[in-house]
Amino acid sequence: MGMLAIVISLALLMYFAYRGVTVLLLAPVMGLLAVVLSGDGSFLLPIYTSTFMTALSGYVLQFLPIFLLGSLFGQLMADSGAANTLARWIVQSLGERRAMVSVVVACSLLTYGGVSLFVVAFALYPVAVSLFKAANVPKRLIPATIALGAFTFTMTALPGTPSIQNAIPIPYFGTNVFAAPGLGLIAACFMFAGGLWWLQRRAAQARAKGEGFGEHPEHEEQAQPEQPASHGRWSVMPVPLALLPLLLVVGINALFTYVVFPSVDFSFLGERFANMDPQKVVGLWSLIIALAVACLALVLLRLGRWTDLKESVNKGIFGFMLPLFNTASEVGYGAVIASLAGFAIIRDAVLNVSPHNPLISEAIAMNILAGITGSSSGGLSIALQTLGADYLAMANAAGISPELLHRVAVMAAGGMDTLPHCGAIITLLAICKLNHRQSYRDIATVTILVPLPALVLVITLGTLFGSF
């Protein structure tokens, strides 16, 4: 009955998430439902206040600075005009005839530089509309084009990307955001080329059928509205200045990861922080410093030109709360499930999928949980919370580098996460004023069917040659 209780709970979580019910409510309710169905109803309140809330608060304690600074940086990039400046510069450099390439490259540059995918989607949508209309490419391909640049290789594969997905494995495996850089670059190239090939093929098919941009009166007059100066989306900013904050995020992160922290003797922390393992947190420290410096640089670069800096800062700060607590609630749900007797059967089954190669088991677990939750960060967090220590022990026994575990985990979480109930996909379609029937097939291809072979390629190369 314990295993059935977990399956019922997961199925209901997936169903109600697809129906739009917030995970903040779903996670504790579905977790406690699993407790009751497992026959542990007498422990309901202790499990909620201890197991669920302890896991939730632990996640918040660990990752709050990353979510906060990432949200603030994205808002400052948007309101300063930097995001829009870079997007239009890339489009002008590549030319309107390369509409799809321009949008993908613009999205990837911004997300790799630390701008949140939602800010990127809002900033690039009107640009994409203009380009696709000029090239007479169907509008229904815009969501997939944005998704390829923002939701795939820059989120999970490129070494150094400051995405929260790339940061989550750090404390579990003692790695950093540059884990397995060579394999990450190979996977990123595969995703970029494969996704772009599919999109251009679909555009060619539409052209052969005589299908153009299409009639979309709902945005003809509103695709590029004039924005108040306080929001800064269309303000002019020199390209070198707009590019500088992105370079700071990557450069300072790399500097502290490979130069500064490796040269520091952290033994002095032992007396005051006896339970801290510096090797498991320096990766997070590097990212925190990089994002903080980039935010400060943005503020100083536009000093005297902000219409309302306080509004931008407040909006960025408040914007991190929902994503953080959504993911933290899913972590709490995972902790509750892991505490049930039935989970031992599931854990053993998953770990024994490929007992001699934990990379395969890890990839399957991450994909399944990301698909169920509709969230790459949520699925990744649940899997590592419940199975991370097991995978690390198996990897050490098999002589597999933790860096390879890190890269496979992140890439796997970015596979099945974009099923139809994924919140990011629903939001992207809303921004583009399209629906699942019109655009989801192409989104699924570039965010699921292309990344999965890339994941298989990384596992194969990593198994044969190790991490590089």
Structure confidence by residue, pLDDT tens digits, 353-393: 888 899 999 999 999 888 877 789 988 998 998 899 999 99
d(CA 252, CA 265): 20
**221 falls within a domain:** no
Tell me the mean pLDDT in the region 276-300. Answer: 92
How far are the Cα atoms of 129, 131, 391, 436 from residue 195, in angstroms, in the given order? 19, 19, 30, 19
Residue 136 lies in a domain: yes
Counting Cβ atoms within 10 Å, is residue 393 exposed (0-12), middle (13-18) or buried (19+)? exposed
Condensed to tens digits (0 to 9), the pLDDT of residues 108-136 reads 999 998 888 877 888 788 888 888 988 89
Q: How far is CA 76 from the centre of its chain?
A: 19
Residue 219 domain-assigned (yes or no): no
Can you give the pLDDT at residue 218?
Answer: 56
Work out the number of other CB atoms within 10 angstroms of the CB of residue 16: 17
**% of residues, the chain, pLDDT over 90:** 56
DSSP, res 180: S
Tell me what pLDDT residue 23 has: 82
Distance from the first to the final alpha carbon of the chain: 44
The answer as to whether 222 is a domain residue is: no
Q: How confident is the model at residue 46 (pLDDT cuts 50, 70, 90)?
A: very high
**More reliable by pLDDT, 229 or 380:** 380
pLDDT at 227 over 70: no
pLDDT of residue 221: 46
The verdict on residue 61 lying in a domain is yes
pLDDT tops 80 at residue 270: yes
Give 257's pLDDT tier (boundaries 50, 70, 90). Answer: very high
pLDDT value at residue 217 = 65
Residue type at 83 in one-letter notation: A
* 223 found inside a domain: no
CA distances (Å), 18 to each of 246, 380, 420, 422, in order? 34, 19, 7, 7
Q: State mean pLDDT over 328-349.
A: 86
Residue numbers of the domain that contains 53: 2-212+228-465
Angle subtended at Cα 149 by Cα 148 and Cα 154, rounded to the nearest 5 degrees? 110
CB 187 within 8 A of CB 414: no
In a domain, 217, yes or no: no
Element (H, E) at 102: helix 99-112
Q: What is the mean pLDDT of residues 84-113?
A: 88
Counted domains in the chain: 1
Average pLDDT over residues 240-247: 93
- Give me Rg for the CA atoms of the chain: 22
Output the pLDDT for position 235. Answer: 52
Residue 459 lies in a domain: yes
